[in-house]
């Protein structure tokens, strides 16, 4: 099957393969999604406006791997993005596997990491274009917090399901 590229931007391209249309990251850029837990057992979440949704979205901190340096590791990118978005530096970053966000629409994947040993280094908030709000939520209260945000009209990133349904929170709460 022939793959064509009808459009390509700086970070994304649109590909066609027969009847399929899908998006792909340009180059070998991947992403890191961060489950960050502080010493008080609080999960660090972020909320930011997402242009494609037209509203704010509750998410795990995340960012691109290799967009600033081609030889950047997942752990390095996770630490950089966590500190930029939330103001926390992680001494421990454990990879939990690669996941595909929406395989019927995009080839994008991300590595889920758990970040611990957090030290507050600043306010976070992201870069000048992001305007990120940082939330610290007790692990046992995450499900209720997500439900409250949903009722308030905040979009919920699908990656939150990894926490709500995957047993990761229960495992981390037991540490």
Query: Residue 8: inside a domain, yes or no?
Result: no
Which residues sit opposite 92 in a β-bridge? Answer: 116
Question: Residue 172: which pLDDT band, with cuts at 50, 70 and 90?
Answer: low
With a pLDDT cut of 70, the percent of the chain lying above it is 94
Higher per-residue confidence, 11 vs 2? 2
The whole-number average pLDDT for the span 39-56 is: 95
* 5 in a structural domain: no
The answer to the question of residue 3 being in a domain is: no
Summarised one tens digit per residue, pLDDT across range 98-110 is 999 888 888 888 9
| In-domain check, residue 65 | yes
> Against a cut of 0.85, is the pTM above it?
yes
Q: What domain range includes position 152?
A: 29-173
- Domain of 127: which CATH number? 3.90.79.10
Count of domains forming the chain: 1
Asked if the model's pLDDT at residue 129 lies above 80, the reply is no
Is 41 a member of any domain? yes
Whether 121 is in a domain gets the answer yes
**Could you tell me the pLDDT band of residue 174, with boundaries at 50, 70 and 90?**
low
Q: Which residue has the higher pLDDT, 88 or 171?
A: 88
Q: Which pLDDT value is given to residue 137?
A: 96
Which is nearest to 36 in space by CA: 98, 101, 91? Answer: 91
Within a domain: residue 151? yes
Q: Report the C-alpha gap between 40 and 94 in whole angstroms.
A: 19
18 within domain boundaries: no
Q: Do the beta carbons of residue 44 and residue 38 sit within 8 Å?
A: yes
Residues 6+ apart with CB under 8 A from 95: 74, 75, 111, 112, 113
Q: What average pLDDT does range 152-167 have in this prediction?
A: 84
- Closest CA relative to residue 9, chosen from 22, 26, 21: 26
């Amino acid at each position: 099957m022939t793959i064509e590229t009808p459009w390509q931007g700086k970070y994304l391209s649109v590909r066609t393969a027969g009847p399929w249309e899908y998006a792909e990251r340009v180059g070998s850029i991947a992403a890191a999604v961060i489950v960050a837990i502080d010493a008080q057992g609080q999960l660090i979440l972020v909320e930011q406006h997402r242009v494609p949704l037209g509203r704010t979205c509750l998410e795990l901190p995340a960012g691109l791997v290799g967009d600033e340096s081609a030889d950047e590791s997942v752990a390095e990118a996770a630490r950089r993005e966590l500190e930029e978005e939330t103001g926390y530096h992680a001494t421990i970053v454990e990879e939990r596997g690669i996941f595909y966000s929406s395989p019927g629409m995009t080839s994008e994947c991300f590595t889920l990491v758990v970040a611990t040993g957090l030290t507050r280094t600043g306010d976070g908030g992201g870069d000048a274009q992001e305007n990120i709000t940082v939330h610290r939520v007790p692990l046992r209260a995450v499900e209720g917090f997500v439900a409250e945000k949903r009722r308030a009209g905040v979009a919920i990133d699908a990656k939150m399901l990894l926490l709500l349904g995957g047993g990761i929170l229960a495992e981390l709460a037991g540490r």
